[in-house]
Chains A and B, each alone.
Chain A
Amino acid sequence: NAGVTQTPKFQVLKTGQSMTLQCAQDMNHEYMSWYRQDPGMGLRLIHYSVGAGITDQGEVPNGYNVSRSTTEDFPLRLLSAAPSQTSVYFCASSAAPQGYGYTFGSGTRLTVV
């Protein structure tokens, strides 16, 4: 039981490049979400999913896309990276009911130059 697994752990992108941050969980959790963490800003919700095929926007969704084709996977896509997207990204999951008992992945540190 690996919990929530995120890859890669570190990434450097050039402005304008695209990439996908991977998130997978093996706990059969229905609810998954992506947060970004910036100094002094706490954790801000980017996108979330309440189940396969269902996604919705959080507080700071601009510049990011998500999809949820399976219960296990919830990738986050950066369409055209910008320096403002330099951050640490965390994926989290919880079993139904949504909002209780979140488990976080180990994070991806992204730098956009």
Chain B
Amino acid sequence: GENVEQHPSTLSVQEGDSAVIKCTYSDSASNYFPWYKQELGKRPQLIIDIRSNVGEKKDQRIAVTLNKTAKHFSLHITETQPEDSAVYFCAASLIGGGSQGNLIFGKGTKLSVKP
């Protein structure tokens, strides 16, 4: 089955700096890669996602890149702000793929943005 590795487990940056979180996946059939943000005590919320037919996607200060050959994808946050502080999870799945359609998550990255 799919296995998702996420690094680093903790990341501390100064406000205004960029943050990068990296994930690798094992199942080459996976074609959907979402990123979730979870604030303390809250539910995970989808912030951006990418499908395997796209190499990069951007939404304001957030971007995700995908390298299908290397089976890794990354989240980039530019001009970080204190409100970006949260735990970020990457995930992978095969859309419409039966049991492979289940989201398999990385273990999370705790991002701290210092003012």
Contacts and interface: CB of A to CB of B under 8 A. Distances in A.
Contacts of A104: 43-45
Interface of A: 31, 33, 35, 40-45, 48, 50, 56, 58-59, 90, 92, 96-107
A52 B42 CA distance: 28
Nearest to B96: A97
Nearest to A97: B96
Given A98-B98, A102-B103, A107 B89 contact: no
A82 B95 CA distance: 34
29 contacts: A33-B103, A35-B105, A40-B108, A42-B89, A42-B106, A42-B108, A43-B44, A43-B105, A44-B105, A45-B103, A97-B95, A97-B96, A97-B101, A98-B96, A98-B98, A98-B101, A99-B93, A99-B94, A99-B95, A99-B97, A99-B100, A99-B101, A100-B95, A101-B46, A103-B46, A104-B43, A106-B42, A106-B43, A107-B43
Contact of B43 (A98, A100, A105): A105
Contacts of A40: 9, 107-108
Nearest to B4: A42
Interface string B1-26: 10000100100000000000000000
B103 A41 contact: no
